[in-house]
Chain A
Amino acid sequence: MAYSEKVLEHYSNPRNVGTLDRNDPRVGTGMVGAPECGDVMKLQIKVDDSTGVIEDAKFKTFGCGSAIASSSLATEWVKGKTIDEALTIRNMDIVNELSLPPVKIHCSVLAEDAIRAAIDDYKRKRRNGNGDNKK
Chain B
Amino acid sequence: MKKPIYMDNHATTPLDPRVLDAMMPYLTNKFGNAASRNHSFGWEAEQAVDKARKQIAELIGADAKEIVFTSGATESDNLALKGVAEMYAEKGDHIITAATEHKAILDTAKHLAKKGFRITYLPLGKDGLIDPADVAAAITERTILISVMWANNEIGVLQPIREIGRIAHERGVLFHSDGTQAVGKVPVNVIEDNVDLLSISAHKMYGPKGVGALYVRRKNPRVQLTAQMDGGGHERGMRSGTLNVPGIVGLGEACAIAQREMAGESVRLARLRDRLKDRLEAELDEVYVNGSMEHRLPNNLNMSFAYVEGESLLMGINDIAVSSGSACTSATLEPSYVLKALGVGDDLAHTSIRFGLGRFNTEEEVEYTADRVIEVVRKLRELSPLYEMAKEGVDLKKVEWVKD
Contacts and interface: CB of A to CB of B under 8 A. Distances in A.
Interface string A90-120: 0000000000000100100110010001000
A64 B403 contact: no
Contact of A35 (B315, B333, B386, B404): B386
Nearest to B401: A34
Interface stretch (B32-40, B94-102, B156-164, B343-351): B343-351
Q: Is the interface of A mostly helix, strand, loop or mixed?
A: mixed
B305 to A, nearest CB: 11
A33 interface: yes
Interface in A27-84: 31-42, 60-65, 67-68
B70 interface: no
Contacts, number: 85
B385 A42 contact: yes
Given A19-B388, A33-B404, A35-B401, A60 B309 contact: no
B331 to A, nearest CB: 10
Interface residues of B, number: 28
Given A31-B402, A60-B388, A38 B315 contact: no
Interface in A5-23: 8, 11, 14, 17, 19
A38 B328 contact: yes
A17 B382 contact: yes
A34 B386 contact: no
Nearest to A30: B402
Nearest to A117: B402
Contact of B383 (A32, A37, A68): A68
B202 interface: no
B11 interface: no
A64 B383 CA distance: 12
Interface of A: 3, 8, 11, 14, 17, 19, 31-42, 60-65, 67-68, 103, 106, 109-110, 113, 117
9 contacts: A17-B382, A32-B402, A34-B401, A35-B396, A36-B345, A38-B335, A62-B308, A62-B309, A64-B311
Interface of B: 307-309, 311-312, 315-316, 326-328, 333, 335, 345-347, 350, 382-388, 396, 401-404
Query: Which 3 pairs across A and B sit closest by C-beta, in order of nearness?
Result: A34-B401, A36-B346, A35-B347
Given A17-B383, A61-B384, A67-B309, 9 more contacts: A11-B316, A34-B403, A37-B401, A60-B383, A60-B388, A62-B308, A62-B386, A64-B312, A64-B326
